[in-house]
Amino acid sequence: MDLAYTEKQQAFRAEIRSWLAANIPASPLQSFDTAEGFAQHRQWEAKLNEGHWGMVTWPQAFGGRGCDLIDWLIFEEEYYRVRAPLRVNQNGIFLLGPTLMEYGTAEQKARILPKMACGEEVWAQGWSEPNAGSDMAAIRARADLKGDSYVINGQKIWSTRAVWADWLFGMFRTDPDSERHRGLTFILVPLDTPGITVRPIPQLDGLPGFAEVFFDDVEVAVENRLGDEGAGWQVAMATAGFERGLMLRSPARFQETARRLVELYKANSGSADRDPGVRDAVIRAYIDAESYCLATYQTACRLGQGGKIGAESSTNKIFWSELDQDMHATAMSILGARAELLPHAPEAVGVGTWLDGWLFSQSGPIYAGTNEIQRNIIAERMLGMPR
């Protein structure tokens, strides 16, 4: 065990730090759940990619740096430290990209990855359907092979960023007689294909962060199938796989929230201390964010040495999403009567972006597999409790 960064790691940190200092947008971008903000974030992705910072863990051949998970954690630390823009490209570069590298054909990789990397093509995910939420195997949207194309009919819902995205990846039922996990196929769909209707759904903040996607005889060339027909579930599990779970929410994000929470508390301690629970909650936030970081480093090091991660990764999702909710709840308590005010309200002095964060933190325990589903997985697959 040696908890000091190597010289190479320190140099890497210095490099990304100075690149960010020179390139970060002068003022915060607008929300990527607006048309203008989406375009700004797309540009930012292009800039990141130019500097080969788009996805440091991608192989060099695809525009990455071939970094290990520790470098990735360092990258994220520097990224969140300066509050660089959120990643509009996340679905593509974190989820689909690695899956394509594993399951895609050479032609697919060459065709898709470069445009994904530079933000020219932004991806949405299409798993959920009105009647297939936690129970993803209940997917009904159909894709029927006719000649060289799949003809898709049905509906997806809650598709993040689908309003302005260019492509959607997801699972469709290719065998109409199949049930549950069988007969599903992983297909990549250009969102401008005729027959597709995207209906924006406003989220808690009123902005259309996700959408319903309707498919009406949508023809998609068979070359857009990822993996074998009927193997969709396996490919999807790789996309949602354990290691990816680790990368979805890096510790840096929550450590920065904890740091800002300490600052908020210090700036308001006179009023905040009237509720003695607040101080305790701030201390807890710091301790838990630290432990999330320590545990993630430990796992990353273990994986780097060839270790495996299994169902215990479900603890990760629960831990960060509840931490995030708790931290924002504490911030709301500290802000008191100002907490409900939108940032542009005249009396909203010193409220920062806490309200936005509070709203978004409500979704953490729901998306990417609800925390109840994660608890089922932990109990059955990690602890071995009976089904």
Partner 1 sequence: MDFTFSEDQLLFQSSVREFLVGEVTPQRIRASWERDDGRDPDLWQQLTELGLVGLTVPEAFGGLAMNELDFVLLAQECGYVALSEPLVHTALVAVPMLRELGGELAATWLPRIAAGESKVLVGLQQNLVVEDAHVADLLLLQQGDALYALTQDDIELRFNESVDPSRRLYAVTIRPGAEPIARGERAAQLAAAALDRGALGCAAQALGLAQRMVDLAVSYSKDRQQFGKPIGTFQAVKHLMANVAVRLEYARAPVHRAAYSIARGDGVAPRAVSQAKLLACEAANLAAKHSIQVHGAMGYTWEVDLHIFMKKAWALANTWGDAGFHKARVADYIFSEGAQLGAGATFAGASA
Ligand X SMILES: Cc1cc2nc3c(=O)[nH]c(=O)nc-3n(C[C@H](O)[C@H](O)[C@H](O)COP(=O)(O)OP(=O)(O)OC[C@H]3O[C@@H](n4cnc5c(N)ncnc54)[C@H](O)[C@@H]3O)c2cc1C
Residues numbered 210-249 forming contacts with ligand X, rule: CB under 6 A: 210
Dihedral over alpha carbons 166, 131, 246, 235 (to 10 degrees): -70
Tell whether residue 358 is a contact of ligand X (CB under 6 A).
Answer: no
CB 282 within 8 A of CB 265: yes
With CB under 6 A as the contact rule, the residue among 125, 257, 296, 325 that binds ligand X is 125
Interatomic CA distance for residues 135 and 98, integer angstroms: 24
- Cα 151 from Cα 219, distance rounded (Å): 5
Residue 286 contact among partner 1, ligand X, none, beta carbon within 5 to 8 Å by kind: partner 1
CB of 284 to partner 1, least distance (A): 9
Of 207 and 222, which has the nearer Cβ to ligand X? 207
Measured at the CA of 359, the angle between CA 248 and CA 363, to 5 degrees, comes to 45
* Residue 31 lies near ligand X (rule: CB under 6 A): no
By a kind-dependent CB cut-off of 5 to 8 A, residue 119 interacts, out of partner 1, ligand X, none, with: none
Show Cβ contacts of residue 265 under 8 Å, excluding neighbours closer than 6 positions. Answer: 272, 278, 279, 282, 334
Contact in structure between 331 and 324 (CB atoms under 8 Å): no
Mark the segment that binds ligand X (CB under 6 A) among 9-17, 157-165, 225-233, 287-295.
157-165
End-to-end CA distance of the chain: 38
Q: How far apart are CA 64 and CA 93, in angstroms?
A: 10
**φ/ψ bin of 161: left (φ > 0), alpha (ψ from -120 to 50), beta (otherwise):** left
Which part of the chain contacts ligand X (CB under 6 A), choosing from 17-25, 126-134, 174-182, 297-305?
126-134
Cβ neighbours for 18, distance < 8 A, ≥ 6 positions apart = none
Q: 249 touches which of partner 1, ligand X, none (CB within 5 to 8 A by kind)?
A: none
Q: Does 250 bind ligand X (CB under 6 A)?
A: no
Whether the CA torsion 210, 367, 320, 90 is positive or negative: it is negative
Interface with ligand X, residue 53, by CB under 6 A = no
Known catalytic membership, residue 15: no
| Chain residue whose CB lies nearest ligand X | 133
Element at 72 (helix H, strand E): helix 69-81
374 binding ligand X? (CB under 6 A): no
Cβ distance to ligand X smaller for residue 24 or 240: 240
Short-list 247, 204, 50, 33, CA closest to 124: 33
Among 10, 18, 134, 291, binds ligand X (CB under 6 A): 134
Using CB under 6 A as the binding rule, whether residue 127 contacts ligand X is answered as yes
Contacted by 126, from ligand X, partner 1, none: CB < 5 to 8 Å by type: ligand X
**Binding at 210: pick from ligand X, partner 1, none (beta carbon under 5-8 Å per type):** ligand X
Q: Which of 159, 313, 314, 361 binds ligand X (CB under 6 A)?
A: 159
| Residues catalogued as catalytic | 243
Using CB under 6 A as the criterion, which residues of the chain lie in contact with ligand X when the complex forms? 125-128, 133-134, 158-160, 210, 363, 366-367, 370, 372-373, 376
